[in-house]
Amino acid sequence: MKLLLFGAPGVGKGTQAKLLADYYSIPHFSTGDMLRAAVAAQTYLGVQAKQHMDGGRLVPDELMIAMIRDALVGPTAKTGFILDGFPRTVPQAETLTVIFHDIGASVFTVVNIDVDPELIIKRLSSRLMCPNDGKIFSSELMDVRQNGPCPACGTPLIQRVDDRPETVRERLEVYNAKTAPVLTFYEKLGVVVTVDGNDTVDAVNLNIRNKLRALKR
Ligand code: AP5
Ligand code: MG
């Protein structure tokens, strides 16, 4: 099972990727989570990436491609994987084709999660994150609040810097300009399934699994 979770900021890629990774017992590679870990650890990559991420812009392709190549050629990706947040530009998608060829991953599916723009804004403004392990929560769906305890480990919850309203607007513009063309790239290859992401977390998850089962890949 090799899946690419695709969609605008806030459509639920991370939420669904975690559920699917548990269900299919495959690793989940979130480029956003990997970058946030690098920023927290103040590595060379993290220092380079922070300014772009905080402004809602994309991190340069060459940094992202090196990061994802390292993850995919490693032993954990042998039995399958879920990519969440990559590729995000057409050059990244073209390079991923080469990496897939190198690792023998010829069959893969792009799961495109489609959510109404107003709902995206609402979801991102109510998202909270645990800085300890990156777990995602929603103050709309759960009784959690900023600086309140993480339900899993008690660490005070934070809002992502890039979830501030002005940065969310920038991220959505970047998505439309740079990332939406990636969907066209994969549609031409006939590997896209589109799922309505406006429903509840569980309903969206069931919908994705049913569509993947129907593909019999
Ligand atoms: P990244 O972390 O990937 O951010 P993103 O793509 O903007 O997506 P999000 O993580 O914001 O949203 P999501 O779709 O995962 O939604 P979630 O499940 O959290 O990237 C961050 C930055 O890193 C980028 O801006 C860029 O700078 C850089 N970057 C990363 N990859 C890159 C690349 N390849 N190239 C260049 N730069 C890169 O859900 C959102 C909220 O909604 C949560 O609160 C959740 O609980 C809630 N929710 C989820 N599903 C539902 C539902 N069905 N109903 C109700 N609420 C829901
Ligand atoms: Mg995410």
CATH number for the domain that contains residue 106:
3.40.50.300
- The predicted-structure confidence for 90-107, as pLDDT tens digits, reads as follows 999 999 999 999 998 889
What's the domain count of the chain?
1
Domain-located, residue 105: yes
147 in any annotated domain: no
Q: At residue 133, does pLDDT exceed 90?
A: no
**What range does the domain containing 195 cover?**
2-26+79-115+175-215
Q: Which residues surround ligand 2, an ion (CB under 5 A)?
A: 14, 32
What was the pLDDT predicted at 106? 85
d(CA 11, CA 175) in angstroms, rounded, equals: 12
Residue 84 domain-assigned (yes or no):
yes
**Which of 20, 33, 35 to probe ligand 1 with, by most ligand atoms within 8 A of CB?**
35
Average pLDDT over residues 40-60: 96
CA of 107 from ligand 2 middle (Å) equals 24
Note whether residue 87 is domain-resident.
Answer: yes
* Helix segments in the chain, DSSP class H: 13-24, 31-41, 44-54, 61-73, 90-103, 117-125, 165-174, 180-189, 201-215
Active-site amino acid positions: 13, 88, 127, 160, 171
Q: Please indicate, yes or no, if residue 120 is contained in any of the structural domains.
A: no
Q: What is the pLDDT of residues 135-164, one digit of tens each?
A: 999 999 999 999 999 999 999 999 999 999
pLDDT category at 68 given cuts 50, 70, 90 is very high
For residue 169, being part of any structural domain is answered with: no
pLDDT at 115: 98
Residue 187 lies in a domain: yes
pLDDT in tens, 161-215: 999 999 999 999 999 999 999 999 999 999 999 999 999 999 999 999 999 999 9
Integer-rounded Cα Rg, in Å, for the chain is 17
149: in domain: no
